[in-house]
């Protein structure tokens, strides 16, 4: 089996979820001014999941993505997050888009053991102090500034 970073994540994250597949949930803008950005983000995640699934999944389980539109509205992102977190089949949250939407959802996420993977935000609010449930992929806004200056 080739190296897959999702395998490490799945093995390290404690969860009470016991399903046939690993189900991830995403709240992102699919409509509105940022709809195209959210659509492309979702397509990219689905493509990575499909490639992993074609290679046997992770530990024999397939990766699934459940996406809801938040229109880049923090209140809708919170509603989506509450819906995701109340669903016992959701393993993790992935690909949330935007600082305002992600930080609005963070208090609800932190009341669970559900990981948030790859939020598309450079905000320090999802970084400092260190939050073990959040796996940031992109650099912070400060990190980008210091890199280019």
In angstroms, rounded to a whole number, what is the distance separating the alpha carbons of residues 116 and 127? 12
| DSSP reduced 3-state for 42 | helix
Any domain includes 60 = yes
Return the number of other C-beta atoms located less than 10 Å from residue 123's C-beta. Answer: 18
Any domain includes 9 = no
Query: What's the chain's length in residues?
Result: 149
The range of the structural domain enclosing residue 87 comes to 21-148
Any domain includes 40 = yes
| Residue that wins the pLDDT comparison between 48 and 89 | 48
Any domain includes 1 = no
Number of domains in the chain: 1
Closest by CA to 110, choosing from 130, 95, 89, is: 130
Any domain includes 15 = no
Q: For position 51, which CATH number holds?
A: 3.40.50.2300
* pLDDT tens digit sequence for 108-119: 999 999 999 999
Is residue 93's pLDDT more than 90? yes
Average confidence (pLDDT) over 63-67: 97
Any domain includes 73 = yes
Chain centroid to Cα 131, Å, comes to 14
In angstroms, rounded to a whole number, what is the distance separating the alpha carbons of residues 92 and 87? 11
Q: Which residues pair with 65 in a beta bridge?
A: 24
Any domain includes 6 = no
Is residue 123's pLDDT more than 80? yes
Any domain includes 88 = yes
Across all residues in the chain, what is the average pLDDT?
87
């Amino acid at each position: 089996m080739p190296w897959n970073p999702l395998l490490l994540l799945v093995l390290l994250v404690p969860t009470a979820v016991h399903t046939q597949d690993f189900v991830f949930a995403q709240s992102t803008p699919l409509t509105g001014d940022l709809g195209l950005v959210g659509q492309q983000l979702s397509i990219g995640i689905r493509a990575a999941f499909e490639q992993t699934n074609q290679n046997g999944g992770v530990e024999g389980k397939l990766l699934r993505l459940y996406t809801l539109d938040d229109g880049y509205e923090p209140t809708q992102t919170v509603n989506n997050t509450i819906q995701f977190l109340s669903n016992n089949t959701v393993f993790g949250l992935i690909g949330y888009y935007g600082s305002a939407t992600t930080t609005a959802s963070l208090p609800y996420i932190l009341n669970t053991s559900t990981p948030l993977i790859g939020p598309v935000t450079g905000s320090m609010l999802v970084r400092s102090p260190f939050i073990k449930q959040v796996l940031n992929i992109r650099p912070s806004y400060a990190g980008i500034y210091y890199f280019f200056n």
